[in-house]
Amino acid sequence: MTITSLNPWQVLDQLQQDSLRRYAANGQRWQPSVDISESKERYEIQLDLPGVKPEQVQVELEDGKLKISGEKRRHEAEGLAYRYKERTTGSFSRAFKLPEDADLNGIRAQFDNGVLMLTIQKQEAAKPRKIEIQVS
């Protein structure tokens, strides 16, 4: 048996995401779910974008912020009237301030099965060195 503690911030985040999904079902703005991980060499950001094509997504870097935006469209068939819509559509946007050790030239984006994976390499940390004193 595993006992887990309740994280109130996670509960509030889940409530906000559920609220955004209900609001977005009407074709408004929505936010895709995100996972962010870190290793010694890099950061990884994964965004769930089911039903979104890679050409509908823009990834931009500006002033140390990584911005991901786009639009998820619903294929509307002529003569078809929806009785209930719950799947999210409309424009989306997420922005992340990158850490100081992020290599801004080492960012790669890959799209696979509705998941956008961004890999951000870390810069090599400045190593301490001894500075020799010159005698004139």
On the question of pLDDT at 9 being above 80, the answer is no
Q: What is the pLDDT at residue 76?
A: 78
Domains of the chain: 8-74+86-122 (2.60.40.790)
Reported as a single tens digit per residue, the pLDDT across 56-112 is 999 999 998 999 999 988 877 888 888 887 888 889 999 999 999 999 998 999 999
How far apart CA 37 and CA 120 sit, in angstroms, is 10
% of the chain exceeding 90 in pLDDT: 49
Q: Which of 62, 30, 32 is nearest to 45 (CA)?
A: 32
Q: What is the pTM of this model?
A: 0.69
pLDDT, residue 24, reads 47
* Side chain identity at residue 73, one-letter code: R
The chain-wide mean pLDDT, for the chain, equals: 84
- Please state, in angstroms and rounded to a whole number, the distance separating the CA atoms of residues 65 and 53: 23
Measured CA to CA, the distance from residue 116 to residue 90 in angstroms comes to 17
Q: Which of 48, 129, 34 lies closest to 87, judged by CA?
A: 48
Q: Is the pLDDT of residue 126 over 50?
A: yes
> Around Cβ 3, how many Cβ atoms within 10 Å?
4
User: Taking 50 as the threshold, does the pLDDT of residue 120 lie above it?
Assistant: yes
Beta bridge partners of 95: 67
